[in-house]
Amino acid sequence: MKMETKAVHAGDRKRNPDAPGAFVPSSTPIYTATTYLYEETAKLDRVLGREEEGFSYGRYDNPTRAGLEELLRELESGANAQVCSSGMAAIHLALLAALTDRRKSILVASALYGSTVTLLQQVFEPMGVEVNFVDFCDLAAVEKKIAESKPGCLVMETISNPLLRVADLDRIAELARAAGAALLVDNTFASPLLVRPIEHGAHLVVESLTKFLAGHGDVLGGVVVTDEAHADVVRTLSRTLGPVLGPFESFLTMRGIKTFVLRVERQCANACRIASWLQSHPRVARVHYLADPNHPDAAVIHRLLPEGLYGALVPFEIKDAKKEDVFRFMDKLKLIVRGTSLADVHSLMLYPAIASHREIAPKQRQRMGIGDGLVRLCAGIEAADDIIADLDQALA
C-alpha cells in the first residue's frame, strides 16, 4: 500500500476475540484500563510470558497504543515500533538498545538537536559512555573517526536541526554495519513521507510524535522503530523502564496521522514559496532550504527525497541581527506563532539560541553555524500569502 493509504487504515479495526459479540470498531477506541483479564489463568500466563498475543498490564501494552505502534511500524517500514511519552524518552530508549552488547562508545553528527547533545554529554558521558562528534556530511572524516573511536553506535538526523544538512544516509549505514555498530537516525524533520531510514540501512529510527505525525500541537510523544534485530531489546527495555505513551495521546496521534500526508504536502508547498520569497528580501542574509540548487548536500537531497517534497522547515538569517533585533522581529509577528516546537497546523517561529540549542555553549553554537541572527520557521497549512505577509510586516 502507498503511504496515503497506510496512514488512513493501518492499525485500525482490530477484533477482540475474547469480547462478546461480533462488532469491530471502525477506529481504534481509547482503552484506559491498566489491567486485563482472561477466563483462564493459563492464557494470562502465556500472555505475560509473551508466548501469545494479548494484553496484561498498561506498562507492558495497551490496545490503543498497540494500534498506533502497528501504524507507525507500517509508515516507517520497520519490524517493531515502541511509542514513548516524549521524543527525548524515545531517543534515550533507542540509545540504550543500541549499546546493549556493544562497545559503550557513540559517534555523533556534529549537527544535532540541542537536547540530544545534552542527553549525550550530561547523562551518557557521566555513565562512562564515550561520546565523539564529527561532521557526518564529510564521509572521509566519518570513516576515519569510526576507525579511531570504534563506536558501538552512530547517531545522526536525516535532516539536521536547525540548518538542514543532509548526510549520505546509505553510505553511513554501510560504514556502521562494516564496523559492527548500530545506526540510530532521528527522522523528525523528514517524517516517513520524505525518508524512511530503515529502508536505507538504519537499525533504529526515532521520531517526535509531537511534530509532523500528530501534527496539531496537542500531543507529547515519541517513537522508536527498529529493524528485526533490535525489536526484542527495545520491547524489553520499554517494559522495564516504562516510558510509555498514554492511551489518550495514542488515540490523538492516530487521529492526527490520518491527515498526515495531506498536511505535510501542503506544508512543503508553503515552505517552498516562503523560501523563494525570503531569498529576495533585503533584510535576509541567507535562507537555508533543501530545494536550493546551491545547497551543499544537493546531490544527496536529490537522491533521498521525493521530487517536490523538501520539508516544511525554512531557517533564515536576519542580516546583522543581534538577540534584541531578533526579539523585536518575533514580537511583531501576528499570525505566525512564536513557540518552541514545529510541524503544527499553524506556522511556528523558533529562535534556536534560546530554545532548541539553548543548552549548547555559545562558542559551540557558533561552530555549529548557529549565529545570533538565525531563526527557524516551520510552515503551517495556512495560505502561503498570509504567512508571507506576516513575515513582511515583521521584517519591515
Pair 175, 203: CB distance under 8 Å: no
Note whether 244 and 293 are same-domain residues: no
Q: Which of 242, 257, 272 is the last residue of a domain?
A: 257
pLDDT in tens, 122-176: 999 999 999 999 999 999 999 999 999 999 999 999 999 999 999 999 999 999 9
Please indicate, yes or no, whether residues 194 and 86 belong to a single structural domain of this protein.
Answer: yes
- Tell me how far CA of residue 351 lies from CA of 127, 209, 328, 332, 371, in angstroms: 31, 21, 12, 14, 10
Work out the average pLDDT over 206-223. Answer: 98
Q: How many CB atoms lie within 10 A of CB 8?
A: 15
Q: Is residue 102 part of a domain?
A: yes
pLDDT of 354 reads 83
**203 and 87 co-located in one domain:** yes
Spatial separation of the C-alpha atoms in residues 75 and 368, rounded to whole Å: 31
Q: How many residues does the chain have?
A: 396
Are 76 and 201 part of one and the same domain?
A: yes
* Choice among 73, 165, 196, 211 that is catalytic: 211
Boundary-marking domain end, from 257, 290, 320: 257
pLDDT (0 to 100) of residue 180: 98
> Is residue 113 among the annotated active site residues?
yes
> Does residue 21 surpass a pLDDT of 80?
no
Among residues 37, 91, 33, 56, which one has the least CA distance to residue 247?
33
- Respond yes or no: is residue 186 known to be catalytic: yes
**Residue 342 sits in the same domain as residue 381:** yes
Task: Kindly state whether residue 51 falls inside one of the protein's structural domains.
Answer: no
pLDDT of residue 19 exceeding 90, the answer is no
Average pLDDT for 176-191? 98
Number of domains in the chain: 2
DSSP result, 203-227:
SEEEEETTTTTT-SS----EEEEE-
Query: Hey, what amino acid is at 346?
Result: H
* 128 and 270 part of one domain: no
Structure confidence at residue 369 as a pLDDT band (50, 70, 90)? confident
- Please state, in angstroms and rounded to a whole number, the distance separating the CA atoms of residues 252 and 71: 13
In a domain, 182, yes or no: yes
Q: Give the integer Cα–Cα distance in Å for 190 and 160.
A: 9
Average pLDDT over residues 100-121: 95
- The answer to whether residue 22 scores a pLDDT higher than 70 is no
43: in domain:
no
Sheet holding 313-318, edge to edge: 284-287, 313-318, 374-378, 348-350, 337-338
pLDDT at 294 over 70: yes
Residue 23 lies in a domain: yes
Say whether pLDDT at 17 is over 70. Answer: no
In a domain, 56, yes or no: no
Q: Cell 494479548 belongs to which residue?
A: 54
Residue 140 to residue 137: CA distance in whole angstroms: 9
Q: Phi and psi dihedrals of 204, rounded to 5?
A: -135, 140
Whether 45 is in a domain gets the answer no
Give a yes or no: residue 44 inside a domain: no
Average per-residue pLDDT for the chain: 95
Burial of 42 (0-12, 13-18, 19+ CB in 10 A): exposed
Question: For the domain that residue 274 is a member of, what is the CATH number?
Answer: 3.90.1150.10
Domain boundary among 203, 229, 257: 257
| Cβ contact 162:312 at 8 Å | no
Q: Which of the residue ranges 210-219, 221-230, 269-278, 356-365 would you say has the lowest mean pLDDT?
A: 356-365
Residues 213 and 281 in one domain: no
pTM (predicted TM-score): 0.95
Model confidence band, residue 364 (pLDDT cutoffs 50, 70, 90): confident
Task: Considering the candidates 113, 289, 310, 351, report the single residue annotated as catalytic.
Answer: 113
Burial letters 330-350, b for 16+ CB under 10 A, else e: beebebbeeeebbbbbbbbbb
Percent share of the chain, pLDDT over 70: 98
Asked if 244 and 291 sit in the same domain, the reply is no
Alpha carbons 330 and 325: distance in angstroms, whole number: 9
Angle at 343 (CA atoms; ends 342, 348), nearest 5 degrees: 50
Cα 170 to chain centroid distance, Å, stands at 18
We report the CATH number of the domain holding residue 169 as 3.40.640.10
Dist. CA 148–CA 168, nearest whole Å:
20
What would the pLDDT profile of 58-104 be if each residue is shown by its tens digit?
999 999 999 999 999 999 999 999 999 999 999 999 999 999 999 99
Identified catalytic residue from 50, 59, 338, 358: 59
pLDDT at 32 exceeding the cut of 80:
yes
pLDDT the model gives residue 367? 81
- The conformation of residue 158, written as its DSSP 8-state character, comes to S
Residue pLDDT, tens place only, 322-335: 999 999 999 999 99
SS (H, E, C) 322-340: CHHHHHHHHHCCCCCEECC
Looking at the fold, whether 72 and 193 belong to one and the same domain comes out as yes
**Are 129 and 246 within one domain?**
yes
Contact 146, 106 (CB under 8 A): no
Average pLDDT over residues 342-349: 97
- Domain assignment of residue 75, given as a range: 3-30+62-257
Note whether 381 and 238 are same-domain residues.
Answer: no
Which pLDDT belongs to residue 20? 61
Residue 184's DSSP bridge partners are: 155, 204
208 with 95, same domain: the answer is yes
Is 163 in a helix, a strand, or coil? coil
Catalytic pick among 168, 186, 227, 344:
186
DSSP state of 35: B
- C-alpha cell belonging to residue 185: 537516525
